[in-house]
Chains A and B, each alone.
Chain A
Amino acid sequence: MSILINKDTKLIVQGITGRDGGFHASKMKEYGTNIVGGISPGKGGMEVEGIPVFNTVEEAVKATGANASVIFVPAPFAADAILEASYAGIDLVVCITEGVPVQDMIKVNPVLKQNNTKLIGANCPGLITVDECLIGILPGMIFKKGNVGLISRSGTLTYEVVNMLSESGLGQTTCVGIGGDAVSGLYFIDLLERYENDPETDAVVLIGEIGGDAEEQAAQFIKEKMAKPVVAFIAGQTAPPGKRMGHAGAIISSGSGTAAEKIKAFNEAGVPVAKEPSKIPGLVKEKLGI
């Protein structure tokens, strides 16, 4: 078991003939992900890295039975790509593209609900179930199989933490980068619930950021609904108010979404918050009694 994806996941790559799409398709394939097709309108019938290319998601789904999609198309077209995947019946859509306008994501949301599509991102590094399936741009070699789940709003900070976990002997089940945008797909709570129900996951690491109140909501959820231990880290503890720090979500204004509020919420839920990333593995071990 694991969450969201496993060795049976059949993936298509939207934007496979682009530079990033092609490069990461080959990396994902190398990791062992079952990539069954790529999408590039007008290039149907071609092959990229030995992967058949289709003109539409619908054709690809019919021909291959694909149930997951990863999107590498440029920002102005990303929302349309998400919608195409959703209407074609894809179950899990992962949008790597950064810089997608917020209004586009707001328009996409009711359709996802209606079609019961799960979205990760946009502006995210993707997700991985270790040794089974990698979707996105995560560096596969830093992950190690184990019993820790990880959810993060960040990219490289996630890799940093995963690397520390792996080096300290703590392997992972599934790691998910949910992205840092103001409006995005699955959020902390959606994933915490899945980790709680996954028999292979024994503890969860949550890497949050300043801005919004997703971490506070996660803390509330953990307090009320979770038996498994969670360890947290919040990036941006020293960021000045009102400044947008790279991630569109990482903005704090007028006392909402500050690191202090998030840390307080976690502490009240019995979730230890690491002062710096290197303290995370120790806290997880403490919680797991190793």
Chain B
Amino acid sequence: MKIHEYQARNLFRKYGIPVPNGVVCHSVEEAEKNIPDDGKLKVVKAQVHAGGRGKAGGVKLAKTMAEVIEKAGQILGMNIKGLTVEKILVADAVDIEKEFYVGLINDRNSKSVTLMASAEGGVEIEEVARVSPEKIIKMPIDSTTGLMDWQARSVALKLFGDIKQVRQAAVILKKLYKLYVETDSSLAEINPLVLTPEGEVLAIDGKMNFDDNALYRQPEILTMREATPDEQKEIEANEMGLSYIRLDGNIGCMVNGAGLAMATMDMIKLYGGEPANFLDIGGSSNPEKVVKAMNILLGDKNVKAVMINIFGGITRCDDVARGLVTALDEIKTDVPVVVRLSGTNSKEGLEIIKNYGLPNVATMSEAAKKAIELSKTEK
């Protein structure tokens, strides 16, 4: 789960990480009413779940109150990577001496939370990681001790020259780690962490993601969820035990298992088609689940054919076939459906599908080819 910059800043503040003052506004009127006319230089920032806001024109400086209102009007309602800007953050702009990057991630290789830091802050850290990986300091953290003082200090020493600044930064790193662990975060970045000409260390921009598997024990984080319409669909599917991600193609796929679902999408692409989605129905043959899955698939008007790919393991194919038939009876769609069943009791399952009058095929490759063919012929 992602949150907005202003929400990350609120969490930073709660954990004692210094951030410049800022106000969130949903409209120009709100900006006029709530932003103090204190003569300070301000920065107006779009709050959307998309990277590259600056390049898209979603971050602007404003010298006067009149400029704040003007920029707020420009940014609110703007479209950034397909998302409409509904909120802005108006924060005090800060004089910057130098910019740094610090972040925490779950690292699968060291199986630990890992602290990353770089003196090349402010830009896309992924770019730094690709072009000059040696410029990123990595420090795995032992979960039994947490981030130790000496670790925070040794990383800060590589970024800052003055020991007073090192101490400020080390404290920030320790607070960030505490925030990260206590909220079941999966990514916590301060980018940039800045040094002001006065020698103060401040978090200017923050990004946090959270582990979906841990949201059950993070009620406060869950209240911060603001899903885009596509994400909302994905969340609804999850609640049904389905894993769904919408894509831009025209062949809907329904598969049991995430790996097989990805392989199915690959296959469609390999034979010249475009998958409309990723959809993993899990290990159940429950007709209700199949109906819900079909409704989600057919709710996407781009879908011109549906490919159902099931491998029966413990789940028996004849059970799945019965679930499909029940589901199709209920839905009644004109969109052509290709079914491929394999594994346990696949013969019996295919018999049911055949008797129902649906095209059925024995292999994944054939199913993909057939679905592509049908997507082109049907209007």
- A residues at B contact (CB < 8 Å): 24, 27, 75-76, 99-107, 109-110, 137-139, 141-142, 152-160, 163, 180, 182-184, 207, 209-210, 212-214, 217, 233, 235-240, 243-250, 253-256, 275-278
Contact A154 B245 (CB under 8 A): no
Most chain A Cβ neighbours within 10 Å, of B262, B265, B267: B262
CA of A215 to CA of B363 in the docked complex: distance in angstroms? 27
Does B7 sit at the interface, judged by CB under 8 A? Answer: no
Residue of A nearest to B105 (CB): A182
Q: Using an 8 Å CB-CB cutoff, how does the interface string of B19-63 with A read, 1 for contact, 0 for none?
A: 000000000000000000000000000000000000000000000
Does B247 sit at the interface, judged by CB under 8 A? Answer: yes
Contact B106 A182 (CB under 8 A): yes
Contact B106 A183 (CB under 8 A): yes
Residue of B nearest to A155 (CB): B257
A102: which B residues are within 8 A, CB to CB? 106, 184, 186, 211, 213-214
CA of A180 to CA of B85 in the docked complex: distance in angstroms? 35
Residue of A nearest to B269 (CB): A238
Contact A138 B106 (CB under 8 A): no
B342: which A residues are within 8 A, CB to CB? 160, 163
Instruction: Sort A-B residue pairs by CB-CB distance and give the 9 closest, nearest first.
Output: A154-B259, A246-B258, A156-B257, A157-B259, A254-B126, A101-B214, A139-B313, A236-B262, A235-B262
Other 13 A-B pairs with CB < 8 A, given A248-B212, A276-B364: A76-B216, A100-B213, A101-B184, A102-B186, A155-B257, A160-B311, A160-B343, A184-B108, A212-B109, A238-B265, A243-B278, A255-B130, A276-B365
A159: which B residues are within 8 A, CB to CB? 311, 313, 343
Contacting residue for B314 out of A99, A107, A137, A238, CB 8 A: A137
CA of A99 to CA of B215 in the docked complex: distance in angstroms? 10
- B residues at A contact (CB < 8 Å): 106, 108-109, 111-113, 124, 126, 129-130, 142-144, 181, 184, 186, 211-214, 216-217, 243, 245, 247, 255-263, 265-270, 275, 278, 280, 283, 311-314, 342-344, 363-365
B258: which A residues are within 8 A, CB to CB? 154-155, 180, 245-247, 250
Contact A245 B261 (CB under 8 A): yes
CA of A48 to CA of B116 in the docked complex: distance in angstroms? 49
B314: which A residues are within 8 A, CB to CB? 24, 27, 137, 139
Q: Can you offer 13 A-B residue contacts whose CB atoms are under 8 A?
A: A27-B314, A101-B213, A104-B214, A107-B143, A141-B344, A152-B259, A157-B259, A163-B342, A209-B259, A236-B263, A239-B265, A275-B270, A276-B266
A180: which B residues are within 8 A, CB to CB? 258-259
What's the minimum C-beta distance from A69 to chain B, rounded to whole angstroms?
Answer: 20
B245: which A residues are within 8 A, CB to CB? 243-245
CA of A210 to CA of B344 in the docked complex: distance in angstroms? 28
CA of A135 to CA of B262 in the docked complex: distance in angstroms? 25
What's the minimum C-beta distance from B48 to chain A, rounded to whole angstroms?
Answer: 14
A105: which B residues are within 8 A, CB to CB? 111
Residue of A nearest to B274 (CB): A238
Contact B143 A109 (CB under 8 A): yes
B143: which A residues are within 8 A, CB to CB? 103, 106-107, 109-110
A155: which B residues are within 8 A, CB to CB? 257-260, 283, 313
Contact A183 B266 (CB under 8 A): no
A277: which B residues are within 8 A, CB to CB? 263, 364
B106: which A residues are within 8 A, CB to CB? 102-103, 106, 182-183
A212: which B residues are within 8 A, CB to CB? 108-109
What's the minimum C-beta distance from B240 to chain A, rounded to whole angstroms?
Answer: 14
A207: which B residues are within 8 A, CB to CB? 259
